[in-house]
A and B are shown apart, each in its own frame.
Chain A
Amino acid sequence: MILQMNGIQKSFGGLEVLKDISLHVDAGEVVSIIGPSGSGKSTLLRCATFLEKVDAGEITYMDTTAVRTGGDGHAVYLPHKELNSVKRYFGLVFQQFNLFPHYSVLKNVMDAPVHVQKRNKEEVREEAMAILKKMDLDTRADAYPCQLSGGQQQRVAIARALALKPAILFFDEPTSALDPELTGEVLKVIRQLAEEKMTMVVVTHEMPFARAVSNRVLFMDKGVVVEQGHPEDVFGDPQQERTRQFLRNYQR
């Protein structure tokens, strides 16, 4: 088991965005989360990566429980230092890439391993170049993000996340900010990672991609998981009316 989230609740100013959500991810699994906008999918990822604090619920990475529900029903987080050591288990790829514009491609990828993980610089450089080569970006190592296309930038962002060797990688709508003709190259990289048994959770609107790549699909709506299962079952034979309606709208 890589990640276990139980009974996650989150409200923004009285509006319940996540209502008692649970998510379990095993090693090597690729989980896709689909659903209409405002369903809480992105919030779930932001809670899993501690960018947002949950109101209640439990989050466990590997054998460390980072968040538990205290006696008063409110979530209790581990102290700062211990929480930081949990953070190294995961990486996150943003919709807007969020590359550091003043760093070259190579420095974007290398900087955190060298300055956060304090690893040997030469060793990191070799690894970073290998990852960039896999992303087909090794020739652009000295370029700056502004000189790259959106698809290339997102691939750098993926490389940057991989360089920290996370146990699980989250993707928050990784192709939504891209022009349609550029989504393919990013999806190809994610597919390649799936073949290498990288554990991933992908929030996406790319239904064919979710169907082809994932081991499991979650359909979320209005803060709850409506249906989950094998992609062929969810896409081919949805059990819930809301799922059917959503997929119908999507195909039109």
Chain B
Amino acid sequence: MSLSTMLASMGEGMLRTCLIFFLTLLFSLPLGMVIMFMRRSRILLIRGIAHILIAVLRGTPLMLQLLMWYFGPFYLFGWSIRGYRFTAIILGFSINYAAYFAEIYRGGFESISKGQYEAAEILGYSRVQTFFKIILPQVIKTILPSVTNEIITLVKDTSLAFTLAYNEMFSLAKQIAASQTSFMPFIIAGVFYFVANYAVAFGMERVEKALDYYH
């Protein structure tokens, strides 16, 4: 099998990997904010639920969670899961990553001094203005490095989608490597992950630089 044939057969897998990656980010970044607010809620019950949720999501392997999201509806309620595979994968990834993002956000918010809130209050800013104009921009700057780490982990974690027989790029690499007794697919996979992560790191570094005008 020639290199171009290999690349062609892995190409579709790369698209699938990218699809998981982008959809997961799309859902988990805002969802993490929701979980973070629950975690910081004044109502004990909501806080408790968020606490347990985060503990379970971070305390169990993502692979197990994917199995649960996919097979759960069938084993618990007897629902048909035909055609539900991809939804389960995006659910599992998004909710798992949201838990990690929630904790990163929380750390970011806790690092903002009380004085910032008080100054905003004295100057007459509304709660919404205080959040979006004063607090959030500072939080974003603080959490950026941790978010970058998490996103890079996500790029590599996409290979876990194969657990639910979703043929993303790395599973195709393994299949081709096995059938062709060749190491080349792994090299291609490695280059793909590296390039993807380099792009993520490069982009995030640009954002960090852009926010570097103050500390």
A and B touch in the complex (CB under 8 A): yes
Q: Give the distance in Å from the alpha carbon of A77 to the alpha carbon of B126 in the complex.
A: 18
Q: Is the CB of A87 within 8 A of B122?
A: yes
Interface of B is mostly: helix
Q: Is the CB of B129 within 8 A of A94?
A: no
Q: Within 8 Å of chain B (Cβ to Cβ): is A209?
A: no
> Which residue of B has the minimal Cβ distance to A88?
B124
Q: Give the distance in Å from the alpha carbon of A167 to the alpha carbon of B124 in the complex.
A: 15
Q: Is the CB of B214 within 8 A of A98?
A: no
Q: Give the distance in Å from the alpha carbon of A91 to the alpha carbon of B118 in the complex.
A: 12
Cβ of A102: which chain B residues have Cβ within 8 Å of it? 137-138, 141, 211, 214
Interface residues of B (CB under 8 A from A): 113, 115-116, 118-119, 121-126, 129, 133-134, 137-138, 141, 211, 213-215
Q: Is the CB of B124 within 8 A of A87?
A: yes
Q: Within 8 Å of chain B (Cβ to Cβ): is A155?
A: no
Q: Within 8 Å of chain B (Cβ to Cβ): is A15?
A: no
Evaluate whether A98 and B119 lie within 8 angstroms (CB atoms) in the complex, with A116-B129, A146-B214, A164-B124 already known.
yes
Q: Give the distance in Å from the alpha carbon of A125 to the alpha carbon of B123 in the complex.
A: 17
Q: Give the distance in Å from the alpha carbon of A84 to the alpha carbon of B137 in the complex.
A: 25
> Which residue of B has the minimal Cβ distance to A111?
B133
Q: Within 8 Å of chain B (Cβ to Cβ): is A22?
A: no
Q: Is the CB of A112 within 8 A of B125?
A: yes
A-B interface, 6 closest residue pairs, ranked by CB to CB distance from nearest: A98-B119, A98-B115, A112-B123, A116-B124, A144-B214, A92-B122
> Which residue of A has the minimal Cβ distance to B129?
A115
1/0 contact string of A95-108 vs chain B (CB within 8 Å): 01011111000000
Within the complex, the shortest CB–CB distance from B135 to chain A, in Å, comes to: 10
Interface of A is mostly: loop
Cβ of A161: which chain B residues have Cβ within 8 Å of it? 122-123
Q: Is the CB of A49 within 8 A of B122?
A: yes
Q: Within 8 Å of chain B (Cβ to Cβ): is A139?
A: no
Q: Within 8 Å of chain B (Cβ to Cβ): is A41?
A: no
> Which residue of B has the minimal Cβ distance to A166?
B122
Q: Is the CB of A146 within 8 A of B215?
A: yes
Q: Which of B116, B121, B124, B215 contacts A100 (CB 8 A)?
A: B116
Within the complex, the shortest CB–CB distance from A99 to chain B, in Å, comes to: 8
Q: Is the CB of B115 within 8 A of A96?
A: yes
Cβ of A144: which chain B residues have Cβ within 8 Å of it? 213-214
- Of residues B119, B122, B214, which shows the largest number of chain A Cβ atoms within 10 Å of its Cβ? B122
Q: Give the distance in Å from the alpha carbon of A99 to the alpha carbon of B215 in the complex.
A: 12
Q: Is the CB of A84 within 8 A of B115?
A: no
Q: Is the CB of B123 within 8 A of A164?
A: yes
Cβ of B215: which chain A residues have Cβ within 8 Å of it? 101, 146
Q: List 6 A-B contacts (CB under 8 A).
A: A51-B121, A87-B124, A91-B122, A94-B119, A102-B137, A112-B125
Cβ of A92: which chain B residues have Cβ within 8 Å of it? 122
Given contacts A146-B214, A164-B124, 18 further A-B contacts (CB under 8 A): A51-B121, A51-B122, A87-B124, A88-B124, A91-B122, A96-B113, A98-B116, A98-B119, A100-B116, A102-B137, A102-B214, A111-B133, A112-B123, A112-B124, A116-B124, A144-B213, A145-B214, A161-B123
